[in-house]
Structure 1
Amino acid sequence: MGLFPLLADPPVFLVALALALLGLVLHNLFQAYLADRYGETAPRRYGFLSADLRVHLEPLGLVFLVLLGFGWPRPVPTHLPGRKGAFVALMGPLGFFLAAFFYGLLARFLPYPFGEGLGVAQRLMLLHAAIYLFPVPPLDGAKALYAVGGHEARRFLDQLSAYGPIGFLLIFLVLSYTGVTGAVVQGLASLLGLLYRAMGL
């Protein structure tokens, strides 16, 4: 679980960790870019359109990334309502998915330790893309639903939010151990396979 097993192979560990951090930054950049295009000023004002790691990375999220293989960046400050807000939220999982696509592509051509590290990072990005799609606060899927959902949906999400990080971790563990997360990851991996085959790879 997490990146700890890779400590036995430090070069692969470092490559995978660096690429996972890049994936977290890409998640934020995708959201910040679209929010900026929609006229939201906060992402640019707080530096989220830059690649400054100090802006994007959150220490506790990095700890969980190493321990569990799932982390999180600082949230991009956006308050767009309706479909615009939903589109901005869903840009985050899209950023993870595109990172997984390019990591898997490069892994086919680069030697050790880059190929192996890219392969690990691809799996991590698929996991993040899958989890962030779930409508569980504070994930992007919940933000998208909150933006376009009705009163009942928002009230339900507010109730889930009231349980805080403990509630999120419990839901995360349940989804993982019941195979729901794995099924979504496998679906995204199959989509990647289709894209690679369409490219003749």
Structure 2
Amino acid sequence: MEQFLAFDLEQLPFVIIALLVAFTVHEFAHAYTAFKFGDDTAKDQGRLTLNPVHHLDPIGTIFILIAGFGWARPVPVNRRNFKNPKLAGVLVSLAGPLSNFLIAFLAFGLLYLVVGSAPVFAIQLLNMMVWLNVLLFVFNLLPFPPLDGYRIIEDLAPPRTRVKMTQYEQYGVLLFLILVITPLGDHTIRPFLTRMTNSVLAGFESIFGVFL
């Protein structure tokens, strides 16, 4: 069975727990921010909740366990309900990745405090929480559809540029899938994700090294 998984079997429980928390909080952050800016769409569809059942996509979850790449159920957002669609749209898109950053930051701080005194399983879980959430933070800010980074650029772009982006979005999705799924990703997205993830972790180390 292990040969079909992207993670070692002993890592699997920690991966599953970390993913449940990361995906749920990420999607809740989108829904909550949209609700605060006047869009009830996610709330009306039961997405303004921290219940993982309402946010997980079964196929996306299986994919991340098998291929190391997956997704949760996207939160529906109707930007026409925002008083300031551009600002609100950017903040709603940014809320998801920032929630993962915050989880990683808090988990890293807790790990820094308890390392050496906590049970091994707790250390392993915190390490996985840090790593997966930093990875999701960086990954979701990539400028490819349907990721949050692309939506942020889309909201900031002038109207004529947004029209062009919409016309060619399907090709962007195809390019993104090619880069993620094929070996081409070993020379493009994956090295970038590794460098950026390590940079964020080094930043955490510097911060907590000063204060703790």
Deviation at 1:33, TM superposition (A): 1.3
User: Which is higher, the Rg of structure 1 or of structure 2?
Assistant: 2
Who is 1:64 aligned against? 63
The alignment yields a C-alpha RMSD, in angstroms, of 2.4
Secondary structure of 1:5's counterpart equals coil
Secondary structure of 1:6's counterpart equals coil
Residues 133-190 of structure 1, C-alpha deviations (whole Å, 9 max, x = no match): 0111000011111112124542453355313754322133545533222222223223
**Between the two proteins, what is the percent identity of the paired residues?**
27
Q: For the residues of structure 2 that align with 1:147 and 1:169, how far apart are their CA atoms?
A: 22
Who is 1:33 aligned against? 32
Pairing partner for 2:120 from 104, 107, 112: 112
TM-score, normalised with respect to structure 2: 0.81
Distance 1:175 1:147, change over 3 A: farther
Q: For the residues of structure 2 that align with 1:2 and 1:118, how far apart are their CA atoms?
A: 25
Who is 2:52 aligned against? 53
Amino acid corresponding to residue 130 of structure 1 in structure 2: V
Deviation at 1:3, TM superposition (A): 6.3
Amino acid corresponding to residue 136 of structure 1 in structure 2: F
Who is 1:137 aligned against? 145
Q: Is the 8 A contact 2:18 2:132 kept in 1?
A: no
Residues 32-84 of structure 1, C-alpha deviations (whole Å, 9 max, x = no match): 11111101111111111112222100112101221233332111111322011
Distance 1:196 1:175, change over 3 A: farther
Higher mean C-alpha deviation, range 124-133 or range 104-113: 104-113
Secondary structure of 1:39's counterpart equals coil
Asked if 1:149 is matched to 2:153, the reply is no
Who is 2:78 aligned against? 79
Who is 1:92 aligned against? 96
Q: Is the 8 A contact 1:56 1:74 kept in 2?
A: yes
Q: For the residues of structure 1 that align with 2:59 and 2:65, how far apart are their CA atoms?
A: 10
Higher mean C-alpha deviation, range 137-146 or range 114-123: 114-123
Who is 1:197 aligned against? 209
Q: Is the 8 A contact 2:107 2:130 kept in 1?
A: yes
- Aligned residue-pair number: 197
TM-score, normalised with respect to structure 1: 0.85
Distance 1:2 1:29, change over 3 A: farther
Q: Is the 8 A contact 1:97 1:129 kept in 2?
A: yes
Distance 1:2 1:129, change over 3 A: farther
* Unaligned residue ranges in structure 2 (runs of 5+): 80-84
Secondary structure of 1:76's counterpart equals coil
Who is 1:185 aligned against? 197
Q: For the residues of structure 1 that align with 2:46 and 2:210, how far apart are their CA atoms?
A: 37
* Unaligned residue ranges in structure 1 (runs of 5+): none
Q: For the residues of structure 2 that align with 1:60 and 1:161, how far apart are their CA atoms?
A: 23
